[in-house]
Amino acid sequence: MNDFLKKINFPVIGRWFILGTIVGIIAGLGAIIFFILLQGTSYFFLDYLTGLRIGETAGEPSLFGHATTEFKRWMLFIIPALGGLLSGFIVYRFAPEAEGHGTDAAIDAIHFKNGYIRWQVPIVKTIASAITIGTGGSGGREGPIAQIGAGFTSFLGRKLNITDREKRILTAAGMGAGVGAIFRSPLAGAIFAAEVLYSSSDLEAEVLLPSTITSIIAYSIFCSIFGWDSLFLTPDFKFTNPLELFTYTILGFACALFGYFYVKIFYKTHNFFKSLEVSNYIKPVIGGFLTGVIGFFIPQALGGGYSNIEKAMNGELAIWFLLILIFAKIFTTSFSIGSGGSAGIFGPSMVIGASVGGFMGLLLQKIFPTIVANPGAYVLVGMAGFFAGIAKTPLSTIIMVSEMTGNYHLLVPAMWVSTISFLVLRNTTIYKSQVKSRSDSPIHKGEFFLQILQEIRVGEIMRKDPIVIRADMHFKDILEFIPTTKHNSFPVIDNHNRLIGVLRFEEIREFVFEEGLEDLVVASEICDTETPVIMPDATLADAIETIGFKNIELLPVVNNLDDRLLIGIITRRDIITIYNKEMRKQKKQEALF
């Protein structure tokens, strides 16, 4: 029992539980505040002023009920633009980095800023995003809540004076905690934090356990206030016909096609507004107005739009309307967020994915009526496949959709469609701050450099036929010999091939202009006899450490420290060359995934 207890590092475990609990509490409370603000702004601007009833989901009824105001459709030309004006002023006046979809900013902070996010950002993001979405802007909650969780955690990390590594881990864990709370999906939130940082199938494994702690705490706090039901109430869909994998394959390619179109339109819109020569304060107003124009004709394309997902699952939306909703939601999202509005892209992506799934389900049922029994199931699977492809988060998305709907019977088709969409869109991502893999992240480059060097032995790459100088070679002959080579460092050996030292060109410069030394001085007298050596079974990590510590270019390789028989050399350039070669090989392998 004592041996077992000694193996458990209680200080480390306790530290992560304490830090994780604090982060989880902050993220949970942040999710509560944001959700109340979002519901309040939505009620005031859309429900009370405009008379537009934003639909609710079964697991998330309105906190403020509904006003009796008559629907004034013309107000949609004004309210989203007003929201753009208010959110744009708040963002660009107090925290410009809070514009756009916040998850990207959190990812960027983790990769390139050691998790640093200014303390103003989560506050500004909370208010601005609630206004953007609450006034009809097409946006999701995950961006704001991810930056809220990450931002407050970054502030906490600085106050507690923890290490840069711990700051990065906690920032990612805070992001996952917020997502897990607001979408009532704690497991998916924990995995999302580790998965969303990379555009390949790589994971930030060290984030998983801390983010699990933070996500559980945040979820528990949020649901203790707003209830424990799943976000959506769905029919009991099941996968019972293997032939449906054929139609689900078609859905997977459809998700990839519409996902590619979505990403391209989103960033073309974003780049257009970036290049637009007007004040940054005005750009969200223009985006809001364009959103309102679309909303005038298709009000379902405004706001979060989650109720459309339930309606599509229940077969309440016609096939033609679902097709229109796909494009309407793509453009309203691009205008709302691409113009500088503050909101996330997960929510709209879920609606777009559900619409793609609903449209394809109804279409495939007409073509293959004996195979497709429940087109509503394709709505749920389409949600997972669409976002998994564009966000590069297949694992967390599959789990999140299952947790949000309370339906775990469609895991197989969801996995199938998500895999297809992920592979087809492997070079397309909605999160531009993602890096390809851990080896591409600045926070891990040193680790990968060391890892590669530790896996290769000196004997595998050493030069076995080095150019040497004999110990009894006269100074005159040395001066004539060096220009015939391209080197400036040479091992000096005796007649039995034992290493005497290393002769470096820079060390003999002082003797060049002294007369009378040509026939008096020999190599063994002017070489560095205390030069470090290395043996062939040492790693390249050992070699680069010695080279760096001694600030030398060439390191002799000897059979052992007693005989000191020279069997090769290794240089700084050799190590860098083999490292670059191994990295290129790894990149090619990663490109396959």
For 419, other C-beta atoms within 10 Å of its C-beta total 16
The answer, yes or no, to whether residue 456 has pLDDT greater than 70, is yes
Question: Which pLDDT score is estimated for 9?
Answer: 46
CATH for 244-434 is: 1.10.3080.10
Q: What is the mean pLDDT of residues 155-175?
A: 80
Check: CB of residue 167 under 8 Å from CB of residue 114: yes
Q: What is the pLDDT of residues 12-70, one digit of tens each?
A: 567 778 888 888 898 888 889 989 999 999 999 998 889 888 777 777 777 777 777 78
Q: What is the mean pLDDT of residues 261-281?
A: 92
Beta bridge partners of 555: 570
Question: Which pLDDT score is estimated for 340?
Answer: 86
The answer, yes or no, to whether residue 312 has pLDDT greater than 60, is yes
Q: How many helices (H) and strands (E) does the chain have?
A: 24, 5
Check: CB of residue 420 under 8 Å from CB of residue 256: yes
* Residue 141 CB partners (closer than 8 Å, separation 6+): 34, 35, 38, 129, 133, 182, 183, 304, 344, 346, 347
525 CB burial (10 A radius; 0-12, 13-18, 19+): middle
Which band of pLDDT confidence, cut at 50, 70 and 90, is reported for residue 230?
confident
Q: What is the mean pLDDT of residues 320-343?
A: 93
Return d(Cα 426, Cα 192) in angstroms, integer.
18
* Residue 109 CB partners (closer than 8 Å, separation 6+): 115, 116, 117, 150, 154, 171
Amino acid at 152: F
Q: What is the mean pLDDT of residues 357-364?
A: 96
What's the chain's average pLDDT?
85
Length of the chain: 593
Say which CATH class 9-229 falls into. Answer: mainly alpha
Do strands 566-571 and 499-504 pair parallel, antiparallel, or not at all (unpaired)? unpaired
Question: Which pLDDT score is estimated for 474?
Answer: 85
Return d(Cα 197, Cα 211) in angstroms, integer.
14
The answer, yes or no, to whether residue 539 has pLDDT greater than 70, is yes
Local structure of residue 30 (DSSP, 8 states): H
Q: What is the mean pLDDT of residues 191-195?
A: 90
> Is it true that domain 447-581 has CATH number 3.10.580.10?
yes
Q: What is the mean pLDDT of residues 331-342?
A: 91
Question: Which pLDDT score is estimated for 513?
Answer: 57
Provide the token pair at 11: 């200080």
Return d(Cα 123, Cα 345) in angstroms, integer.
19
Q: What is the mean pLDDT of residues 94-104?
A: 78
pLDDT over 70 percentage in the chain? 93
Which band of pLDDT confidence, cut at 50, 70 and 90, is reported for residue 365?
very high
Check: CB of residue 382 under 8 Å from CB of residue 421: no
The percent helix, strand, coil of the chain (3-state, each to 5) is: 65, 5, 30
Identify which of 129, 127, 169, 131 has the alpha carbon closest to the alpha carbon of residue 150. Answer: 169
| Helix H or strand E encompassing 566 | strand 566-571
3-state SS record for 382-400: HHHHHHHHHHCCHHHHHHH
* Residue 146 CB partners (closer than 8 Å, separation 6+): 102, 103, 106, 175, 178, 179, 344
Question: Which pLDDT score is estimated for 86?
Answer: 93
Higher pLDDT pick, 202 / 184:
184
Rg for the chain, CA atoms, rounded: 31
3-state secondary structure of 528: strand
Do 9-229 and 244-434 have matching folds? yes
Question: Which pLDDT score is estimated for 514?
Answer: 63
Going from the C-alpha of 466 to that of each of 457, 479, 505, 551, the distances in angstroms are 18, 18, 16, 20
Question: Which pLDDT score is estimated for 461?
Answer: 87
Higher pLDDT pick, 219 / 61:
219
Q: What is the mean pLDDT of residues 325-345?
A: 91
Scan for tokens 């199931």, then name that residue.
377
Q: What is the pLDDT of residues 494-519, one digit of tens each?
A: 988 999 999 887 777 666 656 656 66
Provide the token pair at 135: 């006034």
Check: CB of residue 423 under 8 Å from CB of residue 193: no
pLDDT over 90 percentage in the chain? 33
Q: What is the pLDDT of residues 410-448, one digit of tens each?
A: 899 999 999 999 999 988 999 888 888 777 777 776 666
The answer, yes or no, to whether residue 327 has pLDDT greater than 70, is yes
The answer, yes or no, to whether residue 5 has pLDDT greater than 70, is no
Q: What is the pLDDT of residues 552-588, one digit of tens each?
A: 888 999 988 888 999 999 988 888 888 788 777 766 6
DSSP labels, 413-478: HHHHHHHHHHHHTTT--S-TT-BSSGGGSTTTHHHHHHHHHHHSBHHHH-BSS---EETT-BHHHH
Which band of pLDDT confidence, cut at 50, 70 and 90, is reported for residue 2?
very low
Domain ranges of the chain: 9-229, 244-434, 447-581
Question: Which pLDDT score is estimated for 557?
Answer: 93
